[in-house]
Amino acid sequence: MIGDADLQVWLDTTSQSGQLLVIPYVKSVNDMQLGFRMELSQQAQSGTSRISQRGQVAVKAADPTPLAQVTINANTGHCKVELVLQRDGRAADTYQFNCTTPRP
């Protein structure tokens, strides 16, 4: 498990022209290599859609690092993001975010 007090994880959302841009970020006090899996699910009257992205990222100490980027329709239902981080092949930490309401 990562579980480091020196690791910050957050979600940035921006709404523009009916689209919602969703970007998860990570910041650490130390340089590190992280594996990530992001799953965004959006639920509306017409059904549920899911978008998944995964990869590896080199995090530089004290620099906010974007992990992925997804653009979805801003006016459609409830949106949530599940982000799983992994380091050195160890068990992963899971973070969940509501992305329905853009943050200012």
* Distance of alpha carbon 67 from alpha carbon 12, whole angstroms: 11
pLDDT digits (tens, 9 = 90+) for 16-47: 888 999 999 999 999 999 999 999 999 888 88
Q: Which residues contact 5 (CB under 8 A, 6 or more apart)?
A: none
pLDDT digits (tens, 9 = 90+) for 57-75: 999 999 999 999 999 988 7
- Longest CA–CA span in the chain (Å) reads 44
pTM score, whole prediction = 0.87
